[in-house]
Amino acid sequence: MSNEIANIFASKEKDEPKSNSLTQIESQRAIQEVQAAMIIAKKFPRDPISAMDRILNACTRQTLAEGALYSYPRGGVEVTGPSIRLAEAIAQEWGNVQFGIRELEQNDKESIVEAFAWDIERNTRQIKTFTVPHVRFTKKNGLTKLIDPRDIYETIANQGARRLRACILGVIPGDVVEQAQKQCEVTLAANVEVTPETIKKLADTFKAEFSITAEQLQERLQCKLEAIRPAQYLQLRKIYTSLRDGMSKPSDWFVIEDKKSDSANKLNEELS
């Protein structure tokens, strides 16, 4: 006969480690969240006509249209596509779509990240998993290791934006995206203001963010900045959006002079 007295507050089952319990709770919460989202999506399905109207109405906003389109070179031809901002706006107005970026794992050198977009109503999903090294490359300093958590977060966000855009466009019908692009083109053409002030502001932005000078812009357009037409101004805005979103690099659009080569050539000329 045992002399030990059982603890009346103790669980009859063997206590599991705390970490396992938290993992199970989080797993159950995620499952219930997904189930609830699917039930709501089936109960309140999207109306394609109403959703398309909302998308087109959103594209009439000048602020959205200005950052909605970008250009990139492909096979010597300039191609226009929807930016991540437009893709997000379309997904929001289309309805019953979840999208985002998750950091799955992080160590001292890199992060493993997942970008996803899920049409809950149609159960169509796009997922892209990729690795983001904790480094930043510049021509001046080369590779620099990132230590500041904010720098790491911004790098992950920038790298994830392109994957997220591809995921969203993978679950949204292509004709819906095309109509949104056309509406943005119409909005830009109707509200473009080519004045000395707007031209200077755009040129200063290229200089500050990408070190592109006014001379390089003029060489690209084959005319003086003060003489550019509305279509050329819109072209520069698309190029800016492309560079900002990382869809292209300055050398894709402009003649980038190699300062080291120039200095070497000048030195050779002086010596000769």
* pTM of full prediction above 0.95: no
Q: Would you say residue 64 lies in a domain?
A: yes
- What is the count of structural domains for the chain? 1
Range of the domain at 220: 48-258
Q: Read off the pLDDT of residues 36-94 as tens digits, 9 standing for 90 and up.
A: 888 888 888 899 999 999 999 999 999 999 889 988 777 777 788 899 999 999 999 99
- Which residues lie below 8 Å from residue 166, measured CB to CB, with a gap of 6+? 115, 126, 128
Confidence label for 9 from pLDDT (cuts 50, 70 and 90): low
Q: Is 18 inside a domain boundary?
A: no
> Higher confidence at residue 90 or residue 12?
90
Task: Give the pLDDT of residue 267.
Answer: 42
The answer as to whether 2 is a domain residue is no
Structure token digits, residue 146 = 């990132």
Q: Round to whole Å and give the CA distance between 100 and 118.
A: 9
For position 130, what pLDDT does the model report? 95
Please give the pLDDT value at position 168. 96
Average pLDDT, the chain: 85
pLDDT interval class at 117 (50, 70, 90) = very high
Domain membership flag for residue 271: no
* Residues paired with 130 in a beta bridge: 113
Name the residue among 114, 156, 117 with its Cα closest to residue 135: 156
- How far is residue 241's CA from residue 1's CA, in Å, rounded to a whole number? 81
Whether 168 is in a domain gets the answer yes
At residue 128, the pLDDT reads 95
Secondary structure of residue 222 in the 3-state scheme: coil
Residue 16 lies in a domain: no
pLDDT value of position 87: 96
The pLDDT of residue 260 is 43
Which parts of the chain are beta strand (E)?
Answer: 69-74, 77-82, 97-106, 110-119, 124-133, 135-138, 142-145
Q: Is residue 100 part of a domain?
A: yes
Sort strands 110-119 and 97-106 into parallel, antiparallel or unpaired: antiparallel
Lowest mean pLDDT, pick from 2-6, 103-107, 198-202, 250-254: 2-6
The pLDDT score that the predictor gives to residue 272 is 43
With cut-offs at 50, 70 and 90, classify the pLDDT of residue 96: very high
Contact (CB, 8 A) for 115 and 128 = yes
Alpha carbon 187 to its chain centroid, in Å, reads 22
